Structure 1
């Protein structure tokens, strides 16, 4: 499809982009996604003005996007839904602007929506993420040699990512000053150039699931301060320094600079390369957020502890944490729901019931003894009075 620009459409899209960023306060990445989605619809219009929208055009575009699900590089229905919502949001805003309100009909905008059956299938879809267990993560960290700065840094990256569930784009922007060593707390402040989801300031506490992982990160932090002489403003996980070996055409990459990475891409590559070298199945940095939740649940935390972890991950509600992150693949579910494991659950429950009964009986006995003593005292008092 050749790109045909309508100058009015281009101008209103630019204005919408400014509104999303400056007034609505969306993150740059979110603004870019929404505006790009509207731009794709503008291309589909082939020069027609946004005001010309009718029900037939909306349905044709919806079917066009759904058709992309059957191409060589298919997109998912969830992606189609997101792109259509971007266009719906744009038109809902557009209808309030001078010169558009009477020209764009609400019924036409509604035709962008997917059917109830399609939206329900998206809402109930389970996106299973390959999630490593604690033993695999320990095996991975142990496989990285710690005799170079790059090795020590990478051990620290894997350790901190699991113990806090921090997102990669936040991790790459951390400075030394963002870590409180005494209290084991990070400060993620968007106003200090640390990118966070929804631009919120966060203070994740390190969850000490494993002493070895915690020590790997602390050792790296101390190394940067005491050996490298880094200042509080220097990056916590700096770029790799690539140097040409003396008297050779070869290059070495064993030390680090004092510069920040330009994007999370480098960290994603570290994950990919280190996991492959360790001979483990691939998993993403984000999957360690899921791993943290699943490992934490296995420790049988209280409701208060569950809430604390949820807030530590920056979630508004525990429903998000344990509804989205505590999803198991069929193999894990089979293990949990196996006859052997269920018997263990029954045994634990029986023990808890018996233990509770014993405690109840003890309390009843104590109560009876106390009442018996009170009755005796009362009888003795009456006898003494009569005498």
Structure 2
């Protein structure tokens, strides 16, 4: 196989992912020279992955798809390198492709559960609020509930991104790690004073008590110090944003555990916000507003990515389809009046 220096067309992360998969292709071809690559190798490798020998364990559909994509990407890159341009035909690389039916089988999976808004409120209520770090963690937990913000964005939010007067979070891509570096202006959901206070009291503490400025972090890192008797002790905050979303996921794990609830990732809260929209929106315009709040340019994205209706709600809607709540209410009122007349 070519050495890693030739592989620098990939990022280090992609390199570590692709190398084992390409080695699998090389094992199939008996470590044949890449310059001799042809469509029969691609077709044979694809067939071997999908229907391995009896003594081999069959790979999952998603594993087959990711392996073929990685090997295909490698050969596309290799076909543009000096010494290989004339040896590797692009039409041969296309034989790594699966059929549409196979791709659907590989990419489809049962829906993942999302927390209900009541579960989120219960978890937030179970979180302590005695120390500065505990107050920060409560604010961290509250902000996805109120906005549906992606979990990597809060890790980089600054204090100036919170507009309490307008009830908004402005995700400025110049400093916030938003998807596709998109500006997202999210209006806070009116979920009640207990949720709002978890965020607003934290903002007021940073602004009024600590005198932090707009360019200071909204959710600062924990401050550590060395205690001669206890070792490393976490006892405060420092003016530095988190480098990734891992601390936020840890906060969510602790919160759900304290409330004796299953763990849901912060990203699943986006589904919860869409479910909340289903229950509260009365017009297409209102749902479009929720879609924009999530940073989506199209409502279709919201519906296709996060709009799956939970199974319990799906059953309720189907079982009650065609039934008029107004008609049922009028019928109950009529029966009640008949009872009063008879009595």
For 1:196, which of 167, 178, 191 is the aligned residue?
178
Match of 1:316 in 2: 297
Q: How has the CA–CA distance of structure 1 residues 351 and 278 changed in structure 2, closer, same or farther, with 3 Å as cutoff?
A: closer
Quick check: 1:130–1:282 contact (8 Å CA) kept in 2?
A: no
Q: How has the CA–CA distance of structure 1 residues 335 and 172 changed in structure 2, closer, same or farther, with 3 Å as cutoff?
A: same
Paired residue secondary structure (1:308):
helix
Match of 1:180 in 2: 163
Match of 1:143 in 2: 126
For 2:238, which of 257, 270, 285 is the aligned residue?
257
> Any stretches of 5+ residues in structure 1 without a counterpart?
18-30, 353-387
Match of 2:324 in 1: 346
Which structure has the bigger radius of gyration?
A: 1
For 2:218, which of 217, 236, 240 is the aligned residue?
236
Distance in 1, Cα, partners of 2:145 & 2:58: 32
Distance in 1, Cα, partners of 2:60 & 2:188: 35
Q: How has the CA–CA distance of structure 1 residues 103 and 127 changed in structure 2, closer, same or farther, with 3 Å as cutoff?
A: same
Say how many residue pairs are matched.
323
Deviation string for 1:172-228 (max 9, x for gaps)? Answer: 011112222322333323332x22222323222222233321221111111111112
Deviation string for 1:8-47 (max 9, x for gaps)? Answer: x742x32x34xxxxxxxxxxxxx55555454344434376
Match of 2:281 in 1: 300
Distance in 2, Cα, partners of 1:225 & 1:177: 10
Paired residue secondary structure (1:328):
coil
For 2:151, which of 165, 168, 178 is the aligned residue?
168
Q: How has the CA–CA distance of structure 1 residues 89 and 306 changed in structure 2, closer, same or farther, with 3 Å as cutoff?
A: farther
Distance in 2, Cα, partners of 1:74 & 1:313: 39
Quick check: 1:151–1:254 contact (8 Å CA) kept in 2?
A: no
Specify which structure has the higher proportion of helix.
1
1:217 aligns with 2:195: no
Paired residue secondary structure (1:259):
coil
Q: How has the CA–CA distance of structure 1 residues 138 and 109 changed in structure 2, closer, same or farther, with 3 Å as cutoff?
A: same
Pairing 1:17-28 to 2, within 5 Å after superposition: 17=10
Paired residue secondary structure (2:266):
coil
Could you state the TM-score of these two structures normalised by the residue count of structure 1?
Answer: 0.72
For 2:209, which of 227, 250, 273 is the aligned residue?
227
Paired residue secondary structure (1:240):
strand
Pairing 1:257-296 to 2, within 5 Å after superposition: 257-296=238-277
The root-mean-square deviation of aligned C-alpha atoms, in Å, is 3.3
Deviation string for 1:279-327 (max 9, x for gaps)? Answer: 0122110110000010111113311121121122122321121122121
Distance in 2, Cα, partners of 1:64 & 1:199: 40
Match of 1:114 in 2: 98
Q: CA deviation at 1:256?
A: 2.4
Quick check: 1:6–1:48 contact (8 Å CA) kept in 2?
A: no
1:158 aligns with 2:141: yes
